[in-house]
Structure 1
């Protein structure tokens, strides 16, 4: 079916601190341009070995809680075998096992179907690389 797949890449600068970046508005803008009112699936993918995609609540402290939990689970110390970069950088390479580098979300009538408090977020604990790409792909019917 012609026109049933479209994709784009977002360029995101996360800065020099661990971050949770809300991508929901960018996802919605992409769907306005590509879904044309159709049902389908939105895939959000970050092609980096040290970042992930989470669907969580933001703005009420949950994003900070996520970073704190990741710090507890994956401390920035010298325990990691992967040792290049800043001290503790090996933890960043384990992050995608806990926060996967992708999410596939339902699109109904051209709109992202998230729960009331859900947001699509880039989770980046790697302070060595502030430039990230996020690929958005819509497969519609």
Structure 2
């Protein structure tokens, strides 16, 4: 999986039990939305959106067996993008046969 955007990343985690909100809270603590960033176009704090993919990469490799992603019981693939300036995102999926 690949996200061709400069402000987005992919995370594999449990959702719906608070982990997704915990991730967003952790990102807010690590990457505050304020004026410290040199990258300044867009909404205030937008520079942090461009740092996010260094922590959550824009790719994930997940094996597929019998046509299904082999995620663990509680795992989900999540697109993470805190950029409010561009609401439309693309995720590309490639399958390689081994």
Q: Tell me the TM-score range normalised by the shorter chain.
A: over 0.9
1:87 paired to 2:44: yes
**Equivalent in the alignment of 1:18:** none
Number of aligned positions between the proteins? 98
1:115-126 alignment to 2 at 5 Å? Answer: 115-126=72-83
CA–CA distance in 1 between the matches of 2:3 and 2:92? Answer: 6
1:61 paired to 2:15: no
How does the TM-score come out when normalised to structure 2? 0.97
CA–CA distance in 2 between the matches of 1:118 and 1:136? Answer: 18
**Equivalent in the alignment of 2:91:** 134
How does the TM-score come out when normalised to structure 1? 0.68
1:6-29 deviation line (CA, Å, top 9, x unaligned): xxxxxxxxxxxxxxxxxxxxxxxx
User: Following superposition, which runs of at least 4 residues in structure 1 exceed 3 angstroms of deviation?
Assistant: none
Of 39, 42, 50, which residue of structure 1 is paired with 2:7?
50
Q: Which has the higher strand share?
A: 1
CA–CA distance in 2 between the matches of 1:136 and 1:97? Answer: 20
Aligned residues: CA RMSD: 0.7
